Amino acid sequence: MTTVAEAPTTTASAGGHRRKQQLTDRDKQERRLGLRLVAPAVIVMLAVTVYPICYSIWLSIQRYNLRFPDDRKYVWFSNYGRILSSAHFWQVMSNTFIIVVISVVIELILGMALALFMHRATFGRNVVRTAILLPYGIITVVSAFAFQFAVSPSIGGFWHLTSPPLNNHSTSLFVIILTEVWKTTPFMSLLLLAGLATVPNDYVEAAKVDGANAWQRLIRVIVPNMRAAILVAVLFRTLDAVRIFDTVFIQTRGANNTATLSQLGYNQLISQLNLGLGSAVSVLLFLIVIFVAVVFVKGFKTDLGQVRGER
């Protein structure tokens, strides 16, 4: 990369002082145009995310409830102290953790199977691709209602359920995970399918010749060669699952201790109008998302770097 960039610089300086000056002028113009074209998008993105998150941090160090607007004062980290020392928060953390880990693991396995199917299928490739876009495209709220109705003993009578699953902690989490898996596995499988396409067919064929069976080819040849795609898919889905809100809101609204971090933030901010405590929850969620992203990127830096270098 650096050697390529150096070549024009040397020719420019060899061409003499005047030519170099001209080039810089044109460069300047190009820079200005580039920045101007990018500016609107960047300003909008920063104004609607960076400013509010700073505002959120500022709110999180105050005692501030919209129902008692006069009782507003700086309390520094006591909101965080209250949250981190409450059992309810740790219940919420554990719910979120369970949903993220179980759903992402299932999605990875199912998504890989789906991707392999679409990659190898000699029949129905297009039909399958179109079909799996339906769960991806459908509104999350709608899929949440579909599964909620299906497990309701009165509406989904065909299961002959004796007690409603959404009235119990663990079965509620099960239904939430099931809904998430149904809805988001297709997205995972499409990312994995794109990764599969980058695995050189020669490697797979060579392994076949050397007598590797299908499972060995998958684990020893295909998976290691598409590590970056797997990482990207898992990272995207993990961060998406950490902020899960729609399904939980529709199916349980956090009843029976099934709240997730986003649901807890909503309850504090919008239901209780407690901007101080709610913002502290929001900031914690934000920090968790950053933490997960950093762990992924740092932990697998070599993998991602390798793939980048190869390209």
211 in the Ramachandran plot: left (φ > 0), alpha (ψ -120 to 50) or beta?
left
74 binds another protein (CB under 8 A): no
Q: Which stretch binds another protein (CB under 8 A): 36-44, 71-79, 85-93, 165-173?
A: 36-44
188 binds another protein (CB under 8 A): no
Q: Which stretch binds another protein (CB under 8 A): 16-24, 72-80, 164-172, 264-272?
A: 264-272
Q: How far, in Å, CA of 87 to CA of 22, rounded?
A: 67
Looking at the DSSP assignment, which residues form a beta bridge with residue 65? 274
Q: Which helix (H) or strand (E) holds 142?
A: helix 140-150
134 binds another protein (CB under 8 A): yes
223 binds another protein (CB under 8 A): no
Residue closest to 251 by CA, chosen among 182, 135, 165: 165
269 binds another protein (CB under 8 A): yes
Cβ atoms within 10 Å of 230's Cβ, excluding its own:
20
Is residue 111 a contact partner of residue 308, using CB atoms and an 8 Å limit? Answer: no
Give the count of residues interacting with another protein (CB under 8 A). Answer: 98
255 binds another protein (CB under 8 A): no
Map residues 44-73 to x or -, x wherever contact with another protein holds by CB under 8 A.
Answer: xxx-xx-xxx-xx--x--------------
Is 156 in a helix, a strand, or coil?
A: coil
222 binds another protein (CB under 8 A): no
> According to CB under 8 A, which one of 75, 106, 135, 223 is a site residue for another protein?
135
209 binds another protein (CB under 8 A): yes
Is 61 in a helix, a strand, or coil?
A: coil
